[in-house]
Structure 1
Amino acid sequence: MDVTERLTFFASLYRIDQNPVLGMWLLYITIIILTIIVYKLGFAKKLPIGKSVIIYILLILGCTILTFFGVFLPVAEGLVVAALILIIYKIRLRQQKKAGSTEQG
């Protein structure tokens, strides 16, 4: 069995099999960006700057482990789906609040 057949979409998109160093960095950055988006859309609360910095540092460190899993498991793809679901949720919530405020006012 060829390793390239088992790569996930993002791993094969970044050609990790041909250029592993650049491919892993690109996958790492992709996972960090998607994780930050999912965190901001679904879980972030208003925190002081010091606590936010600590959270983002720990989030970036955790993404290191996720990157190694992301080569053969659909980590980045799952984060894309989670981000899309949270975006749809936020849009619908905003529309619902806007419709509720116009009914009351």
Structure 2
Amino acid sequence: MYIEFILIFLLTAATYELGFAQKLPVFKKAAAYVLLLVGTFPLAILNAMGLPMIPALCVAVVVLLFARLRRKDVKSMREKEQKG
């Protein structure tokens, strides 16, 4: 149960970082992670009830990772076009 809780928290944090995080001061960033930790409790309960929270979060991380890589690729292509 604890391993699943930690895994859900790590996947939730990765989802947050890949898709939604902005540059924040240290205390605000810490507060965001505390809220993520609090939000992990309901997800862990749903996971214990049999809902596939861990696979769903893995899919979210993969999709956001592909989106981030694609966005970086498009940005570098635009910079090359502007240079010449």
Q: 1, 6, 9: which one pairs with 1:32?
A: 9
Q: List alignment gaps of at least 5 residues for structure 2.
A: none
CA distance in 1, matches of 2:37, 2:53: 14
Q: Which residue of 1 aligns with 2:35?
A: 58
User: For residue 88 of structure 1, what is the aligned residue in structure 2?
Assistant: 66
- Please, which of 78, 89, 101 is the counterpart of residue 56 of structure 2? 78
What is the percentage of aligned positions where both structures have the same residue? 35
Once the two structures are TM-superposed, the CA of residue 31 in structure 1 deviates from its matched residue by 0.1
TM (norm. structure 1) is: 0.76
The CA deviation at 1:58 is 1.1
- Greater fraction helix: 2
Runs of 4+ in 1 over 2 A off after TM superposition: none
Tell me which residue corresponds to 2:26. 49
Count of matched residue pairs: 82
Offset of 1:64 from its aligned partner?
A: 1.4
1:46 alignment partner, SS class? coil
Counterpart of 1:80 in structure 2: which amino acid?
C
Deviation at 1:32, TM superposition (A): 0.4
TM-score by length of 2: 0.94
1:52 shift after superposition? 0.8
Alignment gaps of 5+ in structure 1: 1-23
